[in-house]
Amino acid sequence: MDGVLLPTEIEFYVSTMTPQDIHAAGSKHWLEWHQRLQKLNQQALIEASQAREEHVKESLVTFGKAPVLVHEAVLVDVWKHKVLPQLLKLDPNPRNTFVAYSILYHEAVCVALLELVMYHANCCDSLGDAAADLLDYACGSAARLLSVAQSDGGTSETGAQELLRQRDNLAFDVGIRSLSIVRYVAEFLERLPLNVCSRIYDTSDVPMLFVQLLLARPWVRDGKLYSAGKWTSWDGEALGQAEAQVWLTLRHLLLDPACQNHYTITESRRAQLLKLMMLLTPVLLDQLSPLIELKQWLSHVSVTEQVAKSPKPILLETVLEIKEKILQQSGGKWKKIAKEQLPVVFCNDQKTLMEAAQTLSEAYNTDLLEKFEVKKKSTCEQCGKNAIQRCSHCKKVWYCSRSCQGLGSFVEAVYDSVVNEGGFQDLLQGLVDVHRSTGHRWGNRGVITENIYRLGATVSARFFLSGNSQKREPPQLIILGGICPVSIMKDVIDVMELQRERNKRIAPVDYRNLDFNGGFTPARFIFECGMKLQGQPLTLATAAILMHKFFKEVEQSKYDCFLIAASTLYLAGKVKDDPLKIRDIINVAHNTLHRGSSPLEIGDEYWSMRDAIVQAELLIMRVLKFEVSITHPHKYMLHYLRSMEGWLGKEQWGQVPIARTAAAFLQDFHHDPSILDYQPQHVAIACISLALQCYGVRLPLIEDKDDETWYSVFVKDLQKDKHWEIMEKIMDTYNREPETA
């Protein structure tokens, strides 16, 4: 099983979630509830990390159980501050703290699950009035980062000291996770009750709290950075996730229009906010470019006089229902509750402890943890150096750099072509094309030639060692990048000569002589640069869509389309978690516009281009109102193609390259801004239809004369007229291709 729970188990666990009573903490029933919650947390982690359908989140929203998670976190927070001290007074040196630690850890599990699901807007919607309780709890937990620090246990510490240390360590981890929760609350503020906005600006004063956190930097200690629940080595410049969450929250709150109405910049607040100016270094702005706007806002605040505002109207705010209910249930009788729980929380009965341990052991899936554990040292598949990047396709092979990964991926692709499709003729064609597709990435001609030879030798060796050579042509040898029969050594084919001959016939596009062409030219520029940068297909598609959306909102003649194209590539890399280095983008874009030019030196021209790309990125986000998340047709196309493969059968499906052709149509359609006018599902269907028509494939499902069509199984709202309209638009894209000399 790929997960911890089945979908039916997830629904059952979530639907039966109920708020617990503080008196029952540590009981057998409570431990079973803790076990279920831990399994839900692990399942949610798997779904989020593997980009799968998030059943846990959807179930929490459907059954309205997100407030229960808030209740449980607040409950344990009250317990550890009110009941635990009384327990330690009754038993200053407990022999066994196993159950007590489980109660404390229950809070960390709730917060971890909330952090995962709060990323989605519909989960924030489902909180309702509990959002105020969550904000108050998260701000309190984040504030404790200023006073609580993680520490390692000593050999001579008592049971009470060990428990208090574990409490502080968990409180630190909860505080770090609470930073993300506060950010999500800030981003979805308009979806939440009105009193949440008042609390985040006035009651909790989150901007001032986060300023103090940035000055204190509790996530940095002794040259190490706290990341993913552990301390890791730090170079002193890399931006950690916790710090990034704080910066983004501050930027969102201070630049939000609601800030003017709810947050008065007094002299004391101004003094604290201006302390951030010294932290906004060029290194930080390079890693988190949206902070440039925050720096501009702070500069404006530093020279602007605060206009006196009229007194705020009296607001009736709701009380914190969850915390108030917990306090009412206890009646303030903490000592009495501690006496009742003492035999359970500090239990010394071995049989009872063994039963509790057995119950909890089922919740902690060690096999699952091993899957997420990354080896400390891995070597590059190509050069043998220390590797830090895993292959994005197989997730198994490691590489030290983009160039090695690109070479390894190309070896796999050409080898598969040799074995499955056409023997050495395909290999030769692949070697001839390698310079065209990756030459700029490998540098000068000598290095290019060396890599071609290396690629040829690698694929050739794999081909012969695997025994597949017996299925194809007579044995041949790779000699300095060429292929020749063993008996005719003099007729060596020079790959570089073939490339030179090809370049005589096909001249590279000179973008400087092309007009905007309705967005076709900058889109082509994006795809050429993106392929040289080894960007993922979705990254390039995102860049093209962002470019088309931008020029749809502005007057094209006022902006340099190639600058906007380069900036959308830079932005798309961040959006799709496929970061492209800005220096690489500058060099590739400059070389593509000025064919044959050398990479830019670090000088005035380079810095001017760099600043222009960063500023253009901010402009694009403003024009698009920061709506840069895009639903692409790719995921729908993959689903449809897999279903069609089942209809036709693998044997017949493998005879024609439907999937490859449909993907090519889809990529080419991104050159036309009309792709914005249609739903992604409809675009995917149109690309597949064109591929089917190209190869004359008929699906064994429905005749053309029927009212229903084959794609009605996938999309119900796509009419035939609309379907043909999209296909015509796709074909019109090829009529816009400029003729080259």
Q: What is the pLDDT of residue 313?
A: 54
Q: What is the DSSP letter of 146?
A: G
State the span(s) of the chain assigned CATH 1.10.472.10. Answer: 511-623, 634-735
* Residue 468: predicted pLDDT: 40
| Beta-strand relationship, 389-390 and 386-387 | unpaired
Pairing mode, if any, of strands 482-485 and 476-479?
antiparallel
pLDDT over 50 (residue 240): yes
**Across 497-519, average pLDDT:** 64
For 369-399, the DSSP string reads HHHHPPPS-EE-TTT-SEE-EE-TTTS--EE
Averaged pLDDT, 495-520: 63
**Mean pLDDT of the region 373-395:** 57
Residue in this structure with the two tokens 């109660």, named with its chain if needed: 103
pLDDT, residue 136, reads 94
Higher pLDDT, 580 or 449: 580
Give the DSSP letter of residue 227. Answer: E
486 burial type by CB count under 10 A (0-12 exposed, 13-18 middle, 19+ buried): exposed
Q: Could you tell me the sign of the dihedral formed by the alpha carbons of 609, 610, 611, 614, in that order?
A: positive
- Cβ atoms of 447 and 456 within 8 Å: the answer is no
Q: Phi/psi zone of residue 536: left (φ > 0), alpha (ψ -120 to 50 degrees), beta?
A: beta
Query: Pairing state of beta strands 386-387 and 398-399?
Result: unpaired
Q: For the residues 386-404, what does the mean pLDDT come to?
A: 61
Report whether 138 contacts 178 (CB < 8 A).
yes
Residue 677 pLDDT grade (very low, low, confident, very high; cuts 50, 70, 90):
very high
Comparison of pLDDT for 338 and 477, the residue scoring more: 338
Q: Please report how the helices 561-575 and 582-593 are oriented relative to each other, as an axis angle in degrees rounded to 10.
A: 150
The closest alpha carbon to 295, from 310, 281, 283, 313, belongs to: 281
High-pLDDT (> 70) share of the chain, %? 76
Q: What is the pLDDT of residues 446-463, one digit of tens each?
A: 333 334 334 443 443 333
Tell me the mean pLDDT in the region 392-419: 55
pLDDT-derived band at 654, boundaries 50, 70, 90: confident
- Helices H, strands E: what count in the chain? 34, 9
Cα separation, 108 vs 113, whole angstroms: 9
Average pLDDT over residues 5-20: 90
Residues 6+ apart with CB under 8 A from 676: 545, 548, 549, 552
Global pTM? 0.54
- Pick the range with the lowest mean pLDDT from 11-25, 36-50, 279-293, 300-314: 300-314
Per DSSP, 351 falls in state H
Q: Read off the pLDDT of each residue in 685-696 and give the average, rounded to a whole number.
A: 86
User: The tokens of 333 are what?
Assistant: 């009788």
Query: What tens digit of pLDDT does each residue of 550-561 get?
Result: 999 998 888 889
Q: Above pLDDT 90, what percent of the chain?
A: 32
CA pair distance 668, 520, nearest whole angstrom: 10
pLDDT recorded at residue 423 = 41
Burial class (CB in 10 A: 0-12, 13-18, 19+), 202: middle
> What distance lies between CA 379 and its chain's CA centroid?
25
CATH superfamily of 511-623: Cyclin-like (1.10.472.10)
Tokens 């402890």: give the residue.
353
- Measured between alpha carbons, how far is residue 666 from residues 196, 543, 598 in Å? 44, 14, 33
Query: Is 607's pLDDT higher than 50?
Result: yes
- The confidence band for 407, taking pLDDT boundaries of 50, 70 and 90, is low
> Residue 489 has what pLDDT?
29
Q: Mean pLDDT across the stretch 609-637? A: 88
| Residue (of 375, 370, 369) closest to 396 by Cα position | 375
The reported pLDDT for the residue numbered 374 is: 42
User: What's the pLDDT score for residue 17?
Assistant: 93
Model pLDDT, residue 485: 31
67 pLDDT exceeds 70? yes
| Chain mean position to CA 222 | 29
Alpha carbon distance 108, 47 (integer Å): 19
Residue-averaged pLDDT of the chain = 79
Quickly count: other Cβ atoms within 10 Å of residue 457's Cβ. 15
Identify the H or E element spanning 485.
strand 482-485
Dihedral pair phi/psi, residue 291, rounded to 5°: -70, -10
Q: Which residue carries 């001959």 as its tokens?
A: 501
Sequence-distant (≥ 6) Cβ neighbours of residue 206 within 8 angstroms: 139, 182, 186, 200, 249, 253
**pLDDT given at position 447:** 36
Fold topology of 634-735: Cyclin A; domain 1 (1.10.472)
Residue closest to 149 by CA, chosen among 216, 98, 235? 216
Burial of 138 (0-12, 13-18, 19+ CB in 10 A): buried
Q: How far is CA 668 from CA 522, 527, 663, 687, in A?
A: 13, 9, 9, 10
pLDDT confidence bin for 466, thresholds 50/70/90: very low
According to DSSP, residue 443 is labeled: -
- Across 539-551, average pLDDT: 93
Distance from C-alpha of 370 to C-alpha of 428, rounded to nearest angstrom: 42
Distance CA 411, CA 417 (A): 10
User: With 90 as the cut, is the pLDDT of residue 477 above it?
Assistant: no
- 593 in Cβ contact with 511 (< 8 Å): yes
Give the integer Cα–Cα distance in Å for 418 and 26.
63
Q: Quick: pLDDT tens for 135-159.
A: 999 999 999 999 988 887 766 788 8
pLDDT digits (tens, 9 = 90+) for 701-728: 455 555 567 788 788 888 888 988 998 8
Residue 385 has pLDDT above 50, yes or no: yes
| pLDDT of res. 414 | 44
DSSP 270-296: HHHHHGGGGG--HHHHHHSTTHHHHHH
Lowest pLDDT segment from 260-269, 473-482, 544-553, 668-677:
473-482
Query: Checking DSSP bridges between strand 378-379 and strand 398-399, what pairing results, if any?
Result: unpaired
**Number of CB atoms found within 10 A of residue 104's CB:** 21
pLDDT at residue number 551: 92
Name the strand (E) or helix (H) holding 226: strand 224-227
